[in-house]
Structure 1
Amino acid sequence: MSASDLNQGLRVALFSGNYNMVTDGANKALNRLVGYLLRQGVKVRVYSPTIENPAFEPAGDLVSLPSFAIPGRQEYRVATGLPARVRRDLEAFAPNIVHISSPDPGAHRAVTWARQHGIPVLGSVHTRFDTYPRYYNMAWAEPLLTAILRRLYRRCDALVAPSESFAQVLRDQRMNYDISLWSRGVDRTIFDASHRDMGWRRDLGIADDEVVIGLFSRLVMEKGLDVFADTIDELVASGVPHRVLIVGDGPARHWFEARLPQAVFAGHQAGQDLGRAVASMDVLFFPSITETFGNVTLEAMASSLPAVCAEATGSESLVEDGVTGRLIRPGAIHAFAKALQAYVENPEMRVAHGAAGEMRARDFSWDRINQSVADTYLRLIRQKGARR
């Protein structure tokens, strides 16, 4: 029986905090999931805050939720609940599974609505929200935030996480006892070493013989930008020849540009332009500890780059230390610098580890990965029916 045959009858109400307002890994994954489900004949309706000029066109039908902008982070909004018009829309759509993907008040209300109607709930966890306060001088709030997240996720029938390492963190935090994987795929038409463009590098002022240490990400402090900058300072102080290429934009860009005036900032890139930028790097340096999977890491590996990452959830499920890159203790500036220096000075190791990473990236097929979510929907529906 085909996947589309298995999926017939699914009616999914997906609640997102930011479905297409910002181009980030979680939003791209959710839109790709909805696109796959629709191609399989699944009925999907998405409920999310909306803005007048979103980053991209959404996959599927989108119903706007009331929301407010996060102070200091206006690009993100918080869904505040389910007004009567949304509840009427839900009743008319009649989902047989509810999927929440952001722990905001809208998601809390969606879980309550589903439980009142006897509908199973799947929660997908995309970000280490519990670690965010430490980047804004609010580390005292982490235990409170963890408790709020636990209350929400324990009310779900199951969770999906993008990596086994993060799933284990959720288990250790007692978020839920039914946690499976919804991994991430990589678009090999975009991310491939064949898109390397030396002419593009030259136009940025980078010589052919210079080794480029690259970062491509949304430029926000929780991506470890301070650790990145401190590590580059140590390389400069040690006289290690290199160039730094930063691809991306975000609220911390001005801080980052002032902190690394010698770096090349290429701004936001998307699609084939992003693939060209990544393939034109020589090594990825990504010290973030907030990733639950590490789309950036996988895309760099598909482009045959060795990856130097923090030993944290997400990266440690992708990078094999000493084979496809290096995993370094979070915040260990000197160790990060030594790992990068080794790749700068040893082109043979750089090529070998990049090739091994590309082989590892071949394991990630989007259709297979997204069908695993549909399979989880079907399992939860069966289990709910059996309990009745």
Structure 2
Amino acid sequence: MDTPAENPIVVEDFPAFRPSLRIAVVTETWPPEVNGVAVTLAKLVQGLCRRNHDVQLVRPKQVKNEIPLQNLGFEEVLMRGMPIPRYPELKLGLPSKKNLVKAWTLRRPDVVHIATEGPLGWSAMQAAKVLKLPVTSDFRTNFHSYSQHYGVGWLRKPIVAYLRKFHNATACTMVPTQALKNELSQHGFLNLKVVARGVDTALFNPSRRSAELRAQWRADTQTVVLISVGRLALEKNLGQVMACYESLKSAGAKVKLVLVGDGPMRETIAQRCPDAIFAGMLSHDTLATYYASADLFLFPSLTETFGNVTVEALASGLPVLAFDCAAATDWVKPGVNGWLVSEAEPEAYVSTAMKVAMNPELLSQVAGTTRSQVSQLDWDQISEQVEGVLAKAIQGFDQPTSRLRKLLGKIKP
């Protein structure tokens, strides 16, 4: 007969291979919706799951009778939603405080991370307050900058006031660039932390360049292919793209214009540039081939918080021409992997495109050094940074439970 050991084994003496936090992530947008917030947030959630965290994703239903998917590696909690005006393919979460209080009472998260500031995000903030949960947030979209492009510039101040109130109620707001942190600080935003966006360097790679795709575009080795990726909308400043293309054609350059994305400006662009190639919405796998097969990435937007397409293009070996703002400020090195134009001199955008596109040797030289600049933006590194921010928010909020104290001791804030 076996005799009991003098020192019985205590299960808690065997810690998990990695600390596991219970993280509720709240967002109004999620794949298959195609936008920078949805795509990068999905990468972050995947990264947190790989780091052994227990993630609960709270989002609006994308179709009426949608049910939570299983075997995703995280839990889905679906709320009511409605189409966003002017963006019918996207959903806006409806107020859901009562439902969130109920859900989080039954399954209490250690921290709530809110990625969007709509009604669902506000409800999550209020529910977390009721349950005394720490909250962090992301600043991912310049809604205050968009207002001037849609004839409601007078809403800029109220929008900024709302966003300031929203984010200042959280323990920390993550922003993707130092420039945005400086701007928001001037508007009274507090507790800001710079955490860059990541890029999938295995997918976005110069090796994806395709002679077959270029042949479909009727672009030979002497043709300069300009590419623009993003929503075809006023806030993307696409007049600059059209002006670059028209000026190069007028100068006799062999040039093609490829536009990836869709939106309300498509017909306007088609009328002005009838021979442009409209690729529409693409899968990420196909998009990677488009980037690598082009010669110059035109990104004239002035309303980005980051601009994920900038680092995707660079990782693909594609030189970037952008204004000196958002991700371009941090990751485009003039003459090394692209060119920057001052926001104060918008007329220089076209002249710079002319100088660059009509110098194939310069384009080729710069293309060879683009990828090295963004190699450090691996999603695993970004997820580790976010993990540290979440841990610090928990530590600073209240006295953690004994379980949390053990876990937080293994995480570097």
Matched, 1:7 2:23: no
Give the Cα–Cα distance (whole angstroms) in 1 for the partners of residues 185 and 347 of structure 2: 32
Equivalent residue, structure 2, for 1:113: 127
Counterpart of 2:404 in structure 1 is: none
- In structure 2, which of residues 272, 283, 289 is the aligned counterpart of residue 270 of structure 1? 283
Partner-residue secondary structure (3-state), 1:314: helix
1:364 corresponds in structure 2 to: 377
Which stretch has the larger CA shift, 222-231 or 26-35?
Answer: 222-231
How many residues were matched structurally?
381
- Contact residue 201 and residue 378 of structure 2 kept, 8 A: no
Q: 2:330 corresponds to which residue?
A: 317
Change (3 A) 1:138 1:237: farther
Q: Is the 8 A contact 1:319 1:325 kept in 2?
A: yes
Are the structure 2 counterparts of residues 271 and 73 from structure 1 closer, same or farther at C-alpha, using a change threshold of 3 Å? Answer: closer
What residue number does 1:196 align with? 209
Alpha carbons of structure 1 residues 330 and 141: separation in structure 2 relative to 1, 3 Å: same
The whole-number CA distance in structure 2 between the counterparts of 1:86 and 1:114 is: 8
2:51 corresponds to which residue? 40
Equivalent pair of 2:320/2:339 in contact (CA under 8 Å): yes
Residues 54-133 of structure 1 mapped to structure 2, 5 A cutoff: 60-133=74-147
- Work out the CA distance in 1 between the residues paired with 2:279 and 2:257: 11
Residue 237 of structure 1 and its aligned partner are, at CA, apart by 3.6
List aligned pairs for 1:186-335, cutoff 5 A: 186-330=199-343, 332-335=345-348
Distance in 1, Cα, partners of 2:137 & 2:320: 30
Give CA deviations for 1:105-140 in whole Å, capped at 9, x if unaligned. Answer: 221221122123221111111111110111111111
Letter matched to residue 51 of structure 2: Q
Distance 1:99 1:75 in 2: 24
**Bigger Cα Rg:** 2
Q: Which runs of 5+ in 2 are unaligned?
A: 1-15, 402-413
CA RMSD of aligned residues (A): 2.2
> TM-score, normalised on structure 1?
0.91
Q: Which residue of 2 aligns with 1:161?
A: 175
In the TM superposition, what is the alpha-carbon distance from 1:315 to its structure 2 partner?
Answer: 1.6
2:353 to 327, 340, 345: 340
Residue 83 of structure 1, CA deviation: 4.9
Offset, 1:21:
4.8
1:185-211 per-residue CA deviation (whole Å, 9 max, x = no partner) reads 221222111111112111222223201
Does 2:183 align with 1:172? no
- Per-residue deviation at 1:59? 6.5
| Structure 1 unmatched ranges of 5 or more | none
- Percent sequence identity is 26
Task: Measure, in 2, the Cα distance between the counterparts of 1:362 and 1:271.
Answer: 19
Letter of the 2:30 partner, please give it. Y
How far off its partner does 1:5 sit? 4.6
- State the Cα distance separating 1:354 from its structure 2 match: 2.1
Q: Work out whether 1:27 is the aligned partner of 2:41.
A: no
Residue pairs, 1:134-153, within 5 angstroms: 134-153=148-167
